[in-house]
Structure 1
Amino acid sequence: MGRLLPAGVLVVALVAYFIASDPLELSCLSGITDFQAQYVAVPPYNPLGNITRDGESRLQGAEIVGQGDVFGPESIAFDGQGKGPYTGLSDGRVVRYDGPELGWTTFATTSKRRSALCDYNHTPAPKLDYEHICGRPLGLRFEKTTGELYIADAYFGILKVGPQGGLAEPVVTEVNGVPFKFCNDLDFDGDGNLYFTDSSTKYHRRQFFISRLELENTGRFLRYNPVRKETTVLIEGLRFPNGVAVSKDGTFVVVAETNMARLLRYWLKGPKANTWEVWMDLPGVPDNVRRNENGDFWVAFHSRRSFIEMNSGAVPWLRHLVAKLPIPPKQLFPLLAPKPHALVIRYSSEGQVLEVLEDQSGKVVKVVSEVEEHDGKLYLGTVLFPQMAVYTLSSGG
């Protein structure tokens, strides 16, 4: 009965919105249906076949590290000496795990304006209202030649910090004179160029749920040349671009487009250089993408694609209306968010499914934001929960 009341309120609010809305405003909604055919074209089937059954509960064998000590470990990295994992938290810090005795150590911060407001990592949930003050480090990558850690902070852009840590300094914070609103992930190619995503030019990260709900298309994929200090927009008009991973041979970059449940491939070399294509449709909503030493790609999924996720793109005006309802996002999110269901998939560089790991009930591993493979183990980040999971791969994995 407890779940019926909010749903009823939602229906009533929708009806009220229709009645109260200006007809001109409603007619303008037709302008957001231009992507309808493209979105619906994502195939509503499971491309994994029977392979899913083999891994449906294997992630329940993962070990939980830092339960309650870290909140929202979105991205994971190891330095050149194998130390780590390093991860960014909801309170704006980048921390490093120094073993069971020392635990987590603060390594870096991204904000100069840190105050008592930022000391909330041990609370039951992150305080999104303070993210623009404290910072929110998302994607992490070490630059191998210098040992510097590069950070995609959702609010402060691309930053870097030296091997000893401390306050990160800006690298690139704007393009064409306009500051970034939602930097998300990053990776380097062999020539030192930095590729990164700006998930939205309309919304900040603390408004990510509305951005996803609207399916708005202001996201971009960019390149920063550190020698010329030039930033170039490579793809624009994306719907929540997220994870970034350069292929092992350096011929292409994989970009996760979250709201379209697909991976894009941007060619760096060869006859298709400087062009992009849809590489593959996915069975879930992707977050980050990470390449392992063999050149395979681990894709972390925020969730499987639900019936609503697959079909609501055909009625974008409805999603737009829900986003405009006078209901706080904190109340909408529990109503519309899928149940915790961990899903990670390893793809070959040719796009073949090699391995699928799940915790379908979310008993141990819940929402996965990133998969980092290191020394025979998978380190699983989660942007929504206070834990990191470590899964030991089998000898054949």
Structure 2
Amino acid sequence: MKKCVGVCSLLGAVAVLCVVAVVEGAIEAVELPGGVFGPESIAFDCRGEGPYASVSDGRILKWKGPHLGWTQFALTSPNREGKECDGQPQSEAACGRPLGIKFHPTTCDLYIADAYFGLLAVGPKGGLARQLATSAQGVPLRFTNALDIDPQNGIVYFTDSSILFQRRVWLLSIMNGDKTGRLLKYDPRTQNVTVLRNGLAFPNGVALNADSSFLLMAETGTLQVLKFWLKGPKANTMEIFAQLERFPDNIKRTDNGDFWIAMNSARGTLDTQTWKELYRGATMKQGEVKIPWIQADPVAVKLNERGEVKGMVDGGEGQALESVSEVEESRGRLWIGSAVKPYVGLIING
């Protein structure tokens, strides 16, 4: 395996941007079991074991190392018996399609956002996940997408990308300019779901900052990352955190409080210019952060809480990183998720 190249460039007087420049063939591919693809989201459990990956056939798989490989950990659908759960769009409604996953740091339960079965959780030993929420304020969850958990109180923040279009026809949401997505919270003490914001254009990844005073949410349809304040004088208000040149997908916070934002280039599916034309009414707003793109093929960017660029992954225009759904940083490694690839990517960072 070729080594990835780290490149640091000066941006302004003091800022230094470190780029992981990836050439084709430089990604270590942790292959999924035969026929399985689409490791959309990645998580590590309370013991640091994993990664776990949510995959196309409705399962959560656990990586046990090169000798044992992937094992089944959890399922989201009780309706799999007798079904051909092959990960294809026509089987998703019955077999489930888990997207965002995150372990609760205290209980060690795994919380799952399944596109068809809503918000679920499963215990540390895995198995069939139990449904926690399937609707919000009387409106069904039709495209549950991503989540994060407040370690202080166990509240789960998650997104429902559309109340009209399900995941198997996600492109229709974009082509129709759908803005029915919602940002939601689930309180485990009351078991209630609250709508924090609606009218969103394909809300996607969500991540809390270190003290849970705000969260970041990817609004894929507008190529923006939004900041929603949870505490302080700005509580319950939203503002633009970053304007991107590509489609933001999942967001994951690092141990030191930075955020990895996956940018799905979706090459061959819907080019960036087409997407921009659909939302050409969007304009720059006060306080918006414009990312200083210095790489030809940025597939992920790391930002700190102030919106300053701390790192970037350059896909090198190759196929290995043509569809990046998530970047999870753990112990000096970058684990790369994808909605379509048959493997989890691995980059030794540094």
Give TM-score scaled by structure 1 length.
Answer: 0.76
After TM superposition, give the deviation of residue 68 of structure 1 in Å: 6.0
Instruction: Report the Cα distance in structure 2 between the residues aligned to 1:197 and 1:258, rounded to whole angstroms.
Output: 12
Report sequence identity in percent: 43
Pairing partner for 2:322 from 345, 366, 371: 366
Residue aligning to 1:193? 155
Deviates more, 1:126-135 or 1:53-62: 53-62
Which secondary structure state, in structure 2, belongs to the residue aligned with residue 217 of structure 1?
Answer: coil
Is contact 1:60-1:359 (8 Å) kept? no
Q: Which runs of 5+ in 2 are unaligned?
A: 1-10, 283-296
Which secondary structure state, in structure 2, belongs to the residue aligned with residue 118 of structure 1?
Answer: coil
Indicate yes or no: 2:215 matched with 1:257.
no
After TM superposition, give the deviation of residue 359 of structure 1 in Å: 1.2
Instruction: Report the Cα distance in structure 1 between the residues aligned to 2:24 and 2:259, rounded to whole angstroms.
Output: 18
Is contact 1:285-1:302 (8 Å) kept? yes
Deviation sequence 1:293-338 (CA, Å, 0-9, x none): 000000001118733222343499xxxxxxxxxxxxxxxxxxxxxx
The equivalences for 1:141-156 within 5 A come to 141-156=102-117
The equivalences for 1:158-307 within 5 A come to 158-189=119-150, 190-303=152-265, 306-307=272-273
After TM superposition, give the deviation of residue 209 of structure 1 in Å: 1.0
The equivalences for 1:1-397 within 5 A come to 55-57=20-22, 61-66=26-31, 69=34, 70-120=36-86, 126-189=87-150, 190-303=152-265, 306-314=272-280, 343-394=299-350
After TM superposition, give the deviation of residue 279 of structure 1 in Å: 1.3
Provide closer, same or farther for how the CA distance between residues 343 and 52 of structure 1 changes in structure 2, counting only shifts above 3 A: farther
Instruction: Report the Cα distance in structure 2 between the residues aligned to 1:118 and 1:373, rounded to whole angstroms.
Output: 34
Which secondary structure state, in structure 2, belongs to the residue aligned with residue 255 of structure 1?
Answer: strand
Provide closer, same or farther for how the CA distance between residues 222 and 67 of structure 1 changes in structure 2, counting only shifts above 3 A: closer
Deviation sequence 1:234-276 (CA, Å, 0-9, x none): 1100000000000012110100000100011111111111111
Instruction: Report the Cα distance in structure 2 between the residues aligned to 1:191 and 1:153, rounded to whole angstroms.
Output: 22
Instruction: Report the Cα distance in structure 2 between the residues aligned to 1:140 and 1:130, rounded to whole angstroms.
Output: 21
Higher-Rg structure is 1
Provide closer, same or farther for how the CA distance between residues 342 and 193 of structure 1 changes in structure 2, counting only shifts above 3 A: same
Instruction: Report the Cα distance in structure 1 between the residues aligned to 2:197 and 2:312, rounded to whole angstroms.
Output: 29
Instruction: Report the Cα distance in structure 2 between the residues aligned to 1:77 and 1:114, rounded to whole angstroms.
Output: 24
Letter in 2 for 1:205: R
Instruction: Report the Cα distance in structure 2 between the residues aligned to 1:371 and 1:88, rounded to whole angstroms.
Output: 14
Give the total of aligned pairs. 318
Higher share of residues assigned helix: 1
Letter in 1 for 2:158: F
Q: Which runs of 5+ in 1 are unaligned?
A: 1-47, 121-125, 317-340
Is contact 1:342-1:365 (8 Å) kept? no
Instruction: Report the Cα distance in structure 1 between the residues aligned to 2:149 and 2:18, rounded to whole angstroms.
Output: 35
Deviation sequence 1:92-145 (CA, Å, 0-9, x none): 01110111111110101011110343342xxxxx31011000000000010111
Is contact 1:302-1:342 (8 Å) kept? no
Instruction: Report the Cα distance in structure 1 between the residues aligned to 2:328 and 2:72, rounded to whole angstroms.
Output: 20
